Amino acid sequence: MDRRQRKTREAIFRAFIDLLAKKDFAQITVGEIIDKADIGRATFYSHFETKDYLLKELCEELFCHIFDAMHEEKVNHKHIFDCNAPESVFLHLFQHLKKNDNNILELLSSQNNELFLQYFKRNLGKLVASQLYLFESRKSEKLPESFWISHITSTFVETLKWWIDNKMSESPETITEYFFLAV
């Protein structure tokens, strides 16, 4: 993707996230997104087929960022998220959530969360599958791998919900520790 396309995509994400912070997903129109992003309708559709697809891509952008951080040699990396990645992918994710990068918490804690959580869990499951070695000593041989991945993913989501409900008073490091203790 060239620089111009990347900037347009980022403008669409920013406009969409800003609208999600104010309105229910179902009430947002493509017209509002393109007006706020200051782009044409054809430009929007050249990047995203629908606003559902835009929501899905927003979630995938977060996880793509995390996956890239796992595999890149450089310390600082960027998508629509910018940071210095820690060694733990789970800590990395909690740090982005604590910073509320791109108002991601609005997606998790608003009326919009059902669709976002579906995409979030799907990508989180892939992340968990790539990190299963971290949980190997805790897994019973009787458990199928797919169940184990689902369990870890659900534990992460419930840990995150608890953290949000408790005003995120714990540090990302502490909540990561809680997550590992709970699995």
User: 98-125 pLDDT, tens per residue?
Assistant: 876 556 666 666 555 677 778 788 888 9
Highest mean pLDDT among 6-15, 39-48, 91-100, 162-171: 39-48
What pLDDT score was predicted for residue 108? 66
Share of the chain above pLDDT 70, in %: 79
What pLDDT score was predicted for residue 102? 56
> What's the topology of domain 3-182?
Tetracycline Repressor; domain 2 (1.10.357)
What pLDDT score was predicted for residue 143? 95
What pLDDT score was predicted for residue 7? 92
156-161 mean pLDDT: 91
What pLDDT score was predicted for residue 113? 62
* Range scoring the smallest mean pLDDT among 116-125, 150-159, 160-169: 116-125
CA pair distance 154, 35, nearest whole angstrom: 37
What pLDDT score was predicted for residue 74? 46
What pLDDT score was predicted for residue 151? 96
User: 33-80 pLDDT, tens per residue?
Assistant: 999 999 999 999 999 999 989 988 887 776 676 666 666 544 444 455
What pLDDT score was predicted for residue 86? 60
